[in-house]
Amino acid sequence: MCKILTIVGARPQFIKASMVSRAIAEHNVTINDQRLAIDEVILHTGQHFDANMSDIFFNQLNIPRPDIHLDIHGGNHGAMTGYMLAEIEQALLEHKPDRVLVYGDTNSTLAGALAAAKLHIPVAHVEAGLRSFNMQMPEEINRVLTDRISDILFCPTEIAIKNLIKEGVETPKNDQQSTINTQRIFLVGDVMQDAALLFAKQACAPQEVLLPEGFVLTTLHRAENTDCPERLANIVTALNQLHHTLAPVVLPLHPRARQLIAKQGLNLQVHVINPVGYFEMLWLLDHCDLVLTDSGGVQKEAFFFGKACVTMRDQTEWVELVEAGANELVGADEAKIVDAARRHYGRRIDSSLRLYGAGEAAKLIVRKLPKYTTSD
């Protein structure tokens, strides 16, 4: 049996981990060789701590409750990552996993990978190889560093693999020529698509919220936008304009973003609601007429539901969506946001394009884990 310690801390990671944990349970039931069984320990750093950003996802998605909860949140990037690094190291020394599994590009991702690497514990990175090529973004730094210290790289797209190869991460010709310490690249598809396909039928409208028939679903949380007064002001002005002249703007707003908007004295005149659970978010994606976001994951989720997406960032790690015409980058330019929203409102996207695999990413990941982890 191999022991995997999974590290999560933020909303998208809960969703991704739910699919892999489900696949691990199915794997353990179906295998004949117990040496290939997987014992999963889940560590929650606490990066997203609000009940609407954390607990609700564990409840809705039937994720096993974390075995370890560090309750680390708030503060600057360096302080948060440093606290996580120290606490994760202690957890690894106590639980002695054969491998650490990390997801995405958050501070929890980097802290988990770095703590494991310093203890010579192999690391597997889900969503490896993604690049926005903007090193001013904390997420880009987290991605690059995590990929460099991971020995298994699970990529969602062919473009992600090409990025890794350009950076000098070579994949061995075959398994016989490789060892446990050799970096490996695998194309598995996107676990978020697994989740969207599995849970779409359980989507439900947010409770106690009266929503309009047609609306623009908006998310706003990236530090590059919320921490820059000029960008945040431009976005708020654009959202207000769209809300009054195009269609109601529905904005599930993260507590931190809400505080920064209030601190700056901005008058946000849209339909603001509290953060929602995954099933409610799926319902909003299914019923909206446009997605306007600065999130990475929501760009893909819009595509899964056939909705056009306008992304309020200067770069994106999901370049295939831009190339396919499903997504348009507009930065934080007020005029560009309004113009793109008007052009794309109500437009439907061909979501049958096989950009992110066939919805079996979690199963492919789980098949690889014991093969490259067991020490027998």
Per-residue pLDDT of 82-98, as tens digits, reads 999 999 999 999 999 99
Q: What pLDDT, on the 0 to 100 scale, is given for residue 35?
A: 82
Under 8 Å between Cβ of 4 and 374: no
The stretch 275-282 carries a mean pLDDT of 92
- Does residue 173 have a pLDDT over 60? no
Q: What pLDDT, on the 0 to 100 scale, is given for residue 73?
A: 82
Bigger pLDDT: 171 vs 32: 32
Q: What pLDDT, on the 0 to 100 scale, is given for residue 179?
A: 41
- Does residue 155 have a pLDDT over 80? yes
Give 69-85 pLDDT, tens digit per residue: 998 987 788 999 999 99
Q: What pLDDT, on the 0 to 100 scale, is given for residue 65?
A: 83
| Interatomic CA distance for residues 99 and 170, integer angstroms | 21
Q: What pLDDT, on the 0 to 100 scale, is given for residue 54?
A: 56
Instruction: Read off the pLDDT band of 10 (50, 70, 90).
Output: confident
243: annotated active-site residue: no
Threshold 0.75, pTM exceeds: yes
The stretch 110-126 carries a mean pLDDT of 97
| Interatomic CA distance for residues 105 and 286, integer angstroms | 26
The stretch 153-163 carries a mean pLDDT of 96
Sheet containing 271-273: give its strands across: 271-273, 249-252, 216-218, 290-293, 309-311, 327-329
Which of 221, 243, 254, 287 does the annotation list as catalytic?
A: 221
- Domains of the chain plus CATH, in order, are 2-190+357-371 (3.40.50.2000), 201-344 (3.40.50.2000)
Q: What pLDDT, on the 0 to 100 scale, is given for residue 178?
A: 43
| Interatomic CA distance for residues 49 and 223, integer angstroms | 18
Min mean pLDDT across 86-90, 172-176, 191-195, 229-233 is at 172-176
The stretch 314-330 carries a mean pLDDT of 96
179 to 174, 183, 327, 371: CA distances (angstroms) = 10, 9, 40, 11
Q: What pLDDT, on the 0 to 100 scale, is given for residue 170?
A: 67
Q: What pLDDT, on the 0 to 100 scale, is given for residue 34?
A: 83
Give 12-56 pLDDT, tens digit per residue: 898 999 999 999 999 999 988 888 899 999 999 997 656 455 566
- Does residue 132 have a pLDDT over 60? yes
The stretch 157-163 carries a mean pLDDT of 96
Q: Tell me what percent of the residues of the chain surpass a pLDDT of 70.
A: 93
- Position 175, amino acid: D
CA proximity to 80, closest of 126, 131, 142 = 142
